[in-house]
Structure 1
């Protein structure tokens, strides 16, 4: 069974309320774990950063849904490729809101999962993630 990973960044289409983000993250985590999808979803200041990995067919179908989701705009795919092994043990979500902006998203924690990507993918994701958490 082919394993696949997709990483993307996007902006929210409309300003979402914090409780909508919490509901979205809860649903996303529950659905992805039920479908054996691992990865990470980050949200900060109206922007999303996500890595999804799992069965190739499942991941490609999920990404089509994301592309058609009207909550996203300016979606940019960072990578879309077959992988030898999953980098994430499960699925986790994290976000910064007006209530926890003093907390920082731990960039080094997320970067540790990129070590098995090829160098150009590592560099691209590092640059995006640095800009995302700053």
Structure 2
């Protein structure tokens, strides 16, 4: 089996956004969405995190450039949320997350928290112009739960 993380020719991309959840979504709908997204993204070798808190979604997607851009186009059309605000969209040398994580309220496993912290450290040094926004949002999502 080909290990995508060690393939040099792969163009890696990361996109992050926040959005407002459709007010008709139930907790059950959100749980089903999170389970589907986690299974689907892991099968596609997409890494990152999806969080929900206080009527809003926050997501970081990492993976092969075309795949991430195609997925984001689908996300923009999804009726489960609106007012999608893209925080950043840039190339990366390697993923920060080891897998795709989704949580109803916040990060609850130490490994997920440390991967998010590593991601933020990379953003701070590689993309200082977006670091402030992404750091603020991740902290807000983690506090609201």
TM-score (norm 2): 0.80
Residue 3 of structure 2 is matched in structure 1 by: none
CA offsets per residue over residues 92-112 of structure 1, 9 Å max, x none?
11123xxxxxxx656x92333
Taking the aligned partners of 2:91 and 2:104, their CA distance within structure 1 comes to: 27
- Taking the TM superposition and a 5 Å limit, the aligned residue runs for 1:39-58 are 39-58=48-67
CA shift for structure 1 position 36: 0.7
- What are the superposed Cα offsets for residues 57-109 of structure 1, whole Å, 9 maximum, x if unpaired? 0000000000011111111000001111101000111123xxxxxxx656x92
- Name which of 111, 129, 134 aligns with 2:138: 129
Aligned-pair Cα RMSD in Å: 1.7
Distance 2:84 2:42 in 1: 23
Residue of structure 2 in register with 1:113 after alignment: 119
User: Unaligned stretches of 5+ in structure 1?
Assistant: 97-103
Which residue does 2:77 correspond to in 1? 68
Q: Residues 31 and 115 from structure 1, CA distance in 2 versus in 1: closer, same or farther, beyond 3 angstroms?
A: same
TM-score, normalised with respect to structure 1: 0.86
Task: Tell me the distance in 1 between the aligned counterparts of 2:38 and 2:45.
Answer: 11
Give the number of equivalent residue pairs. Answer: 126
Distance, in Å, in 2 between the alignment partners of 1:40 and 1:15 is 23
